């Protein structure tokens, strides 16, 4: 899933308004904010919005100009953030953060009784051989979501399958905002990832990426506390994010104790494949 940044004057913004997708502003931003291999065909996105399998929310200023938009997909028992982008031609004033805060509240109000939370993906902050600039940018993305009280998958590898044929998967990280009870079990997180991969990316349960990631989870870990989703805090070398930076600051990061990783199965874990819904693949948000 991908996230582009920078914001606009949001003092009088209309935050996170639902849309049927008929406006052209969000689609133009969508096609310029994300690389072609990281985005679904626009026609597929519009079809999903029309049949309510993907939800579009727009934030505009007093003049009706688009400042930020997001696309989310309700899944079986969670919601997936597919894309969020902020118009980089406007003055930055934290509108992306304000949009995300409001989006979380809107989704929580609608789904708190039936869903466990909002899940999202970012490029890995732990990948080797990154440039200093790239490392800093990725840590800013992570810090952005942590200030929104998102938790982070630790102690396990996570990958972002490619939408382009023949392109290798990318190193990623999985994060989530809980709507209620703690998401703290290997079995719960594994089923979420299985559905993201099969329904979101359209890959099968025999795909190498699916097998590699899911084999790390202990499906017998069903008691609360068997899996701790909180990671050690990354503040050893904190990244200072200027207010004008894309990803909005919200709340102070949740204090995290070192994660207690669940035991990894010695053999690949067999997870019952989830029959993909008849919807196109969903791109992973990549906060720019």
41 domain residue, yes or no = yes
61 domain residue, yes or no = yes
Mean pLDDT across the stretch 187-196? 95
Asked if 68 and 99 touch (Cβ cutoff 8 Å), the reply is yes
Does position 248 have pLDDT exceeding 70, yes or no?
no
Q: What is the separation of C-alpha 99 from the centre of its chain, rounded to a whole number of angstroms?
A: 14
Instruction: Select the more confidently predicted residue: 92 or 73.
Output: 73
Residue 177: partners with Cβ closer than 8 Å, 6 or more residues away: 104, 117, 118, 148, 149, 150, 151
DSSP code of 87? -
First-last CA distance in the chain: 11
Does position 14 have pLDDT exceeding 50, yes or no?
yes
288 domain residue, yes or no = no
283 domain residue, yes or no = no
Instruction: Select the more confidently predicted residue: 221 or 193.
Output: 193
Query: For position 154, which CATH number holds?
Result: 3.40.630.30
Which range among 57-71, 87-101, 203-217, 239-253 shows the weakest confidence by mean pLDDT?
239-253
Mean pLDDT across the stretch 239-268? 35
Mean pLDDT across the stretch 9-35? 89
- What was the pLDDT predicted at 1? 58
Does position 51 have pLDDT exceeding 80, yes or no?
yes
71 domain residue, yes or no = yes
266 domain residue, yes or no = no
Asked if 45 and 71 touch (Cβ cutoff 8 Å), the reply is yes
Structural domain boundaries enclosing 193: 2-214
256 domain residue, yes or no = no
Count Cβ atoms within 10 A of the Cβ of residue 234 and give its class: 0-12 exposed, 13-18 middle, 19 or more buried: middle
Number of Cβ within 10 Å of residue 108's Cβ equals: 17
Mean pLDDT across the stretch 120-138? 95
Q: Which residues pair with 4 in a beta bridge?
A: 85
Does position 123 have pLDDT exceeding 50, yes or no?
yes
- Number of domains present in the structure of the chain: 1
49 domain residue, yes or no = yes
Mean pLDDT across the stretch 178-203? 93
Does position 282 have pLDDT exceeding 50, yes or no?
no
């Amino acid at each position: 899933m991908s996230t582009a940044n920078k914001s606009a004057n949001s003092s009088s913004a209309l935050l996170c308004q639902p849309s049927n997708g008929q406006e052209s502003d969000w689609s133009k931003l969508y096609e310029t904010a994300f690389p072609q291999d990281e985005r679904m065909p626009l026609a597929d996105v519009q079809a999903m919005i029309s049949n309510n399998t993907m939800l579009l929310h727009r934030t505009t200023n007093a003049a009706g100009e688009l400042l930020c938009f997001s696309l989310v997909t309700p899944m079986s028992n969670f919601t997936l953030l597919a894309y969020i982008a902020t118009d980089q031609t406007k003055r930055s004033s934290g509108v992306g953060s304000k949009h995300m805060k409001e989006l979380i509240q809107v989704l929580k109000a609608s789904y708190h009784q039936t869903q466990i939370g909002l899940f999202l993906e970012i490029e890995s902050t732990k990948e080797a051989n990154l440039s200093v600039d790239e490392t800093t940018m990725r840590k800013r993305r992570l810090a952005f979501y942590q200030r929104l009280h998102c938790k982070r998958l630790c102690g396990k590898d996570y990958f972002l399958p490619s939408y382009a044929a023949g392109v290798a998967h990318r190193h990623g990280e999985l994060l989530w905002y809980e709507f209620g009870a703690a998401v703290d079990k290997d079995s719960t997180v594994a089923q979420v990832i299985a559905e993201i991969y099969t329904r979101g990316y359209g890959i099968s349960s025999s795909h190498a990426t699916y097998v590699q990631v899911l084999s790390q989870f202990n499906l017998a870990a069903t008691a609360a506390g068997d899996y701790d989703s909180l990671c050690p805090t990354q503040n050893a070398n904190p990244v200072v994010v200027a207010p004008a930076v894309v990803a909005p600051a919200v709340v102070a990061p949740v204090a995290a104790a070192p994660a207690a990783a669940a035991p990894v199965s010695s053999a690949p874990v067999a997870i019952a494949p989830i029959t993909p819904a008849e919807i196109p693949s969903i791109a992973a948000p990549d906060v720019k």
